[in-house]
Chain A
């Protein structure tokens, strides 16, 4: 198999893993301020307490794998997104800190401050991820030297902001379904309403982004003529989306959660389809785009990394399952909780 294609696919897997797993905890963060009492807020934080850190590792590994497999794409993208990524780091640091420190003191001001920080950093991080994806879909002004030729305002185009909004609604939906699974009683009854509203917000954003993409970004759909089988994913995606409200109404939240996870995976797949075989599309001249070939590491390195991935992935999956199994069920607040 073509190692470059393999690594493009594996990066897609890592990004999907990240979006599905950290997606729900970012969603919980964005819903945090809607919890009314201190106990409810602790329930929210502890629903993701043991998990969020492992979820974020998917992002770290995605970054590491991008650096290793496609160093030019890593270097170009990260230096191009300098300011948004610095703000993203700021948000990720604050998120980690808010969870770790919020319940360490009982002062209401201390807790309120961290509650707000937790909400704001979750929302900001989600939005920026969306903006980054949107910008990659559109392409960036990349010169013949593989360097970004634009400035900050080239990153604030309406389409990018629109995809940012799609990311926010997607994770709100995903997070609310997760919370529904982890809570009970009156709180769960309230979350039921949030789930529905978040779903419709997601559906609206999804429809708008799809239409705008079809009209405004022709290069994003040209792969469908070359790889007609990709339509299967589009259909599956539609089915998964349709199944979310169905499962919610039928009172089977776990199915709804699986469906929204599949939806996220399908969205990442479509993102990959829009790019392939480019990693960063040049809006100045398509010839200057960074592709999975001209931006890649040597075949030897890609081969070594394949070995590392084959050795490591079974372990990663095994402990992810063990950890999720250990912390299954409704949230219970105990001595060791946040």
Chain B
């Protein structure tokens, strides 16, 4: 049987990286959220926020473990499946990976131990410090891997040494490699994507508690924090996305053309296609809804200057258009949806009905899937749009494979990964489900109501929910003391 090693290896990479990438954005986003919760605790000394952080740490730990387990696969895979690529980029890519190991992974995994197991063993201050270190570590690991990826998109600070089989890229300028034209925008956009996910995850689970009338006080405060988080980053995302697209227009024009389904350069301004159906054979977008001149205006600030279309590139240098177009548009559409949803939530917050509008809470329960999908398809667009190159303009994906590996071996590993990942997915769902259903009861029940302190979060939540603590109309804490409020809102019906 003759198997296509290239196709199988690409499929395997897509499978393993997409499965892995479920987890890092969750840990980056939740890591930042944990820092916010513990900061609130350190500032207000209100033990509720310590309890909140404890509960979310459990969710964080599950995702972190899966992120680590699936992440090792990625490091192995460059060598196992893409040996020629590894030889080609090792000199450039390797130092970023080594920096990632030394600066990020040790930091993360070391302090994770204190974050998860250290609540009773170390002081509040040391725990707070460890949480910050884990969050920084998670961010650092994003830094180096995104730098390496960006170098593949927009290589800089290198020269080519050797010929034919032994040609490879070698660093000439380390900082030019690190700050290559696309790395900063890509990094910021990637992190923002993770923070949006973190915010929406907080809102999803706390909306669920509010709907089920459990842990309502916990749910409202968490939801409020999540909403602030999600709003800030949902509005930041399109700004960074815009700068990224402008960079792409300069560095990878074929990719931008594929994102936009822009086949013919033509004369005059280029329209921005909002939606449509790509017909690759005919080389056009059918049923297109387009804004005339808009793409030119976004890219050049000049609505009449044409943007380079796919017709400027030979057939074998063009990325697959349909896959790039749909994934890119899905990401953009979802991004707009997040911002809109946050605005709607603030509107209801202002109307003081955010926490009692059931349909909206249900929307938020499921809205967390949006950022998950957006993070995935955003990367699919970035990677598919780079094709047919693995290192843009230098090395083709088809030339990057391991020469020693046979199709049957790759098929074997794909089957293995599919089985393991299905099993992991099942475990992940079942344990998360169990943790969420169980809720923050144990943590919240430890909170001594006498030690509760008011903070602006309590004030804001109470202001926007005049009905008091629970959805079923349990009576408002009214003019009780802060401690009294703590008691009535924390110890709620199961």
Residues of A within 8 A of B (CB): 49-51, 53-54, 56-57, 59-61, 63-65, 67-72, 74-83, 85-87, 89-90, 92-94, 96-97, 99-101, 104-105, 145-149, 152, 297-298, 300-301, 304-305, 308-309, 312-313, 315-316, 319-320, 322-323, 326-327, 334-337
Q: Is the CB of B90 closer than 8 A to any CB of chain A? A: yes
Q: In the complex the two chains form, what is the Cα distance from A166 to B450 in whole Å?
A: 60
Q: In the complex the two chains form, what is the Cα distance from A83 to B111 in whole Å?
A: 34
Min C-beta distance of A325 to chain B, whole Å: 10
Min C-beta distance of A11 to chain B, whole Å: 11
B: contact size bracket? 35 or more
B65-73, B194-202, B315-323, B453-461: which lies at the interface: B65-73
Min C-beta distance of B288 to chain A, whole Å: 44
Min C-beta distance of A98 to chain B, whole Å: 10
Q: In the complex the two chains form, what is the Cα distance from A101 to B103 in whole Å?
A: 28
- Which residues of A sit under 8 angstroms from B61, Cβ to Cβ? 100
Of residues A82, A304, A313, which shows the largest number of chain B Cβ atoms within 10 Å of its Cβ? A82
Q: In the complex the two chains form, what is the Cα distance from A68 to B168 in whole Å?
A: 13
Q: Given A75-B87, A100-B62, A297-B170, are A57 and B101 neighbors across the interface (CB < 8 Å)?
A: yes
CB pair A323 B110 closer than 8 Å:
yes
Q: In the complex the two chains form, what is the Cα distance from A152 to B122 in whole Å?
A: 50
| Contact flags B291-318 to A (C-beta < 8 A → 1, else 0) | 0000000000000000000000000000
Q: In the complex the two chains form, what is the Cα distance from A85 to B442 in whole Å?
A: 42
Closest to A320 in B: B110
- Which residues of B sit under 8 angstroms from A64, Cβ to Cβ? 75, 94, 97-98, 100-101
- Which residues of A sit under 8 angstroms from B168, Cβ to Cβ? 71
Closest to B89 in A: A71
CB pair B112 A53 closer than 8 Å:
yes
User: Would you list 27 pairs from A and B whose C-beta atoms are within 8 A, ordered by A residue?
Assistant: A50-B116, A53-B68, A57-B106, A60-B72, A61-B102, A67-B75, A67-B78, A67-B97, A68-B95, A72-B87, A78-B86, A79-B405, A82-B404, A82-B409, A86-B80, A145-B403, A152-B409, A301-B171, A308-B99, A312-B102, A315-B106, A315-B107, A319-B111, A323-B110, A323-B113, A326-B113, A335-B119
Identify which of B83, B101, B174, B404 contacts A304 (C-beta below 8 A).
Answer: B174
CB pair A80 B62 closer than 8 Å:
no
CB pair A297 B94 closer than 8 Å:
yes
Min C-beta distance of A165 to chain B, whole Å: 24
CB pair A89 B86 closer than 8 Å:
no
Q: In the complex the two chains form, what is the Cα distance from A309 to B98 in whole Å?
A: 9
- Which residues of B sit under 8 angstroms from A313, Cβ to Cβ? 102
CB pair B68 A56 closer than 8 Å:
yes
Min C-beta distance of B424 to chain A, whole Å: 7
Q: In the complex the two chains form, what is the Cα distance from A101 to B66 in whole Å?
A: 10
Closest to B94 in A: A68
CB pair B76 A97 closer than 8 Å:
no
Provide the main secondary structure of the chain B interface: helix
Q: Is the CB of B434 closer than 8 A to any CB of chain A? A: yes
Q: Given A67-B78, A319-B111, are A336 and B402 neighbors across the interface (CB < 8 Å)?
A: no
Q: Is the CB of B228 closer than 8 A to any CB of chain A? A: no
- Which residues of B sit under 8 angstroms from A93, Cβ to Cβ? 69-70, 72-73, 420, 424
Q: Given A57-B105, A301-B91, are A97 and B119 neighbors across the interface (CB < 8 Å)?
A: no
Q: Is the CB of B118 closer than 8 A to any CB of chain A? A: yes
- Which residues of A sit under 8 angstroms from B435, Cβ to Cβ? 104
Closest to A307 in B: B174
Q: Is the CB of B117 closer than 8 A to any CB of chain A? A: yes
CB pair A86 B91 closer than 8 Å:
no
- Which residues of B sit under 8 angstroms from A315, Cβ to Cβ? 103, 106-107
Residues of B within 8 A of A (CB): 61-62, 65-66, 68-73, 75-76, 78-81, 83-84, 86-87, 89-95, 97-103, 105-107, 109-114, 116-122, 161, 165, 168, 170-172, 174, 402-405, 409, 412-413, 416, 420, 424, 427, 431, 434-435, 442
Q: Given A72-B87, A297-B91, A316-B106, are A323 and B116 neighbors across the interface (CB < 8 Å)?
A: no
CB pair B170 A301 closer than 8 Å:
yes
- Which residues of A sit under 8 angstroms from B93, Cβ to Cβ? 67-68
- Which residues of B sit under 8 angstroms from A104, Cβ to Cβ? 431, 434-435
CB pair A75 B98 closer than 8 Å:
no
Identify which of A49, A63, A308 contacts B75 (C-beta below 8 A).
Answer: A63
Identify which of A65, A68, A301, A323 contacts B114 (C-beta below 8 A).
Answer: A323
Identify which of B90, B111, B402 contacts A72 (C-beta below 8 A).
Answer: B90
CB pair B97 A86 closer than 8 Å:
no
CB pair A336 B434 closer than 8 Å:
no
Q: Which 8 A-B pairs have the closest CB atoms?
A: A71-B90, A78-B79, A68-B94, A61-B101, A312-B102, A50-B113, A79-B402, A75-B83
Identify which of B69, B70, B102 contacts A308 (C-beta below 8 A).
Answer: B102
Q: In the complex the two chains form, what is the Cα distance from A157 to B102 in whole Å?
A: 35
Q: In the complex the two chains form, what is the Cα distance from A20 to B246 in whole Å?
A: 50
Q: In the complex the two chains form, what is the Cα distance from A99 to B110 in whole Å?
A: 17
CB pair B79 A49 closer than 8 Å:
no
Closest to B177 in A: A304
Closest to A96 in B: B69
CB pair B90 A297 closer than 8 Å:
yes
Identify which of A59, A72, A85, A326 contacts B122 (C-beta below 8 A).
Answer: A326
Min C-beta distance of A16 to chain B, whole Å: 16
Identify which of B86, B113, B161, B174 contacts A74 (C-beta below 8 A).
Answer: B86
Closest to B86 in A: A75
CB pair B98 A61 closer than 8 Å:
yes
Identify which of B73, B83, B427 contacts A79 (C-beta below 8 A).
Answer: B83
- Which residues of B sit under 8 angstroms from A101, Cβ to Cβ? 427, 431
CB pair A145 B75 closer than 8 Å:
no
